Amino acid sequence: AQSVTQPDIHITVSEGASLELRCNYSYGATPYLFWYVQSPGQGLQLLLKYFSGDTLVQGIKGFEAEFKRSQSSFNLRKPSVHWSDAAEYFCAVKAAGNKLTFGGGTRVLVKP
Amino acid sequence: GAGVSQSPSNKVTEKGKDVELRCDPISGHTALYWYRQSLGQGLEFLIYFQGNSAPDKSGLPSDRFSAERTGGSVSTLTIQRTQQEDSAVYLCASSITGSRSYNEQFFGPGTRLTVL
């Protein structure tokens, strides 16, 4: 069965600093991978997705992620964090029937 | 156009009562999903509807949970004889279809259920 691990429960970063969130997946076939963001009291918003092709994918809000098959990873990055990036971030893999399996999430705190 | 809407936004109930949670998907979306977000279990898939096909109920945690989708649009998730461990945020999502390789799922704001 597929699974997703996000090793970091919390990350604190200073505004303007770079951010990297880790995601490792377990899946038997070529994975469809996603990153979602959840701001307080809000639903999930899709940041970016990977299906195939270029392993570096660009998303909204200045985020990017790199798929590394050899490491079973799909880490999310942003070069310069803004205070509005404080939120919880979820990595997910698509399973059969289009349902998503999510990681446990990483909460990002941004220091001024 | 409007996104996915859910009601109520918050629901407090007593243990043993039944509750109904409603989801209005984006118009024209044929696929609808329910997920549960809880402290102990994270984000879990519950059930998936695709058009007129039989729903995928593989994520429902017990037979106290059921869901229906009327007219291919609005969905209701029902929890009977609620237990404290049912306390969670219940998220609904919809996509244009679920039958192709992937279609983006758009999420609603969720219903926060508290069972006292």
Contact check, Cβ <8 Å, A98/B42: no
Residue B72 predicted with pLDDT over 70: yes
* pLDDT at residue number B98: 59
CA closest to B110 among chain A residues: A43
- What is the residue whose two structure tokens read 């919809």? B94
Q: How confident is the model at residue B16 (pLDDT cuts 50, 70, 90)?
A: very high
Name the range with the highest mean pLDDT among A7-11, B53-57, B94-98. Answer: A7-11
* pLDDT at residue number A109: 97
Residue B96 predicted with pLDDT over 90: no
* A107 in contact with chain B, both atoms CB, cutoff 8 A: no
Cα angle B106-B112-B115, degrees, rounded to a multiple of 5? 145
* pLDDT at residue number B1: 55
- What is the residue whose two structure tokens read 């102990």? B40
Compute the distance between CA of residue A42 and CA of residue A1 in angstroms, rounded to an integer: 29
Which whole-number Å values give the CA distances from A88 to A8, A21, A56, in the listed order? Answer: 11, 11, 22
Q: Identify from A94, A98, A100, A101 which residue to disrupt to test chain B contact, counting B C-beta atoms within 10 A and taking the largest count.
A: A98
Q: How confident is the model at residue B52 (pLDDT cuts 50, 70, 90)?
A: confident
Q: What is chain A's pLDDT, residue by residue, as a tens digit (112 residues)?
A: 789 999 999 999 999 999 999 999 998 777 889 999 999 878 899 999 998 888 999 999 999 999 999 999 999 999 999 999 999 999 999 877 678 999 999 999 999 9
Mean residue pLDDT across chain B:
91
| Amino acid symbol at B30 | T
Kindly give the pairing relationship between strand A56-58 and strand A64-68. Answer: antiparallel
> Mean pLDDT over residues B28-47, rounded?
91
* pLDDT at residue number B99: 57
3-state DSSP call for residue A85?
helix
Residue B97 predicted with pLDDT over 90: no
Contact check, Cβ <8 Å, B42/A101: no
Contact check, Cβ <8 Å, B105/A103: no
> Mean pLDDT over residues B49-75, rounded?
91
